Amino acid sequence: MPGFKVEVPHPLGQEEAANRVKTLLDHLRGRFEGQIKDMQQTWTEDDVMQFSFKTAGLVIKGEMDVQPNSVIVHGDLPFAAMLFKGRIESSIKDELEKCLSHPA
């Protein structure tokens, strides 16, 4: 299955970045409530989140790794979503950059 990957650097440290990402995810879940279904997310002690959700009948799965100086999101895309890969990566990057760019 084809994949996607986005990496966004940040100056916040791991704990602050993880808190901001969790807040962002709650906001996005509400904003896209009718478009995203069956959202599953599991966080580990190392600030790594496994996620999956359905949108437009397609299942998207992946992992978000909050590191001390960057956040890396990667996952699998169904072949039917490959036309939107660039837009998906761009949207993820834009949202993370906004979330992580403001000073602590």
Domain ranges of the chain: 3-99
Q: How many alpha carbons fall within 13 Å on the CB side of residue 23? A: 9
Band of the pLDDT at 104, cuts 50, 70, 90? low
Flag whether pLDDT at 17 surpasses 70. Answer: yes
pTM tops 0.75, yes or no: yes
Query: What is the CATH code for 3-99?
Result: 3.30.310
Q: Where are the beta strands (DSSP E) in 46-94?
A: 48-55, 58-66, 70-76
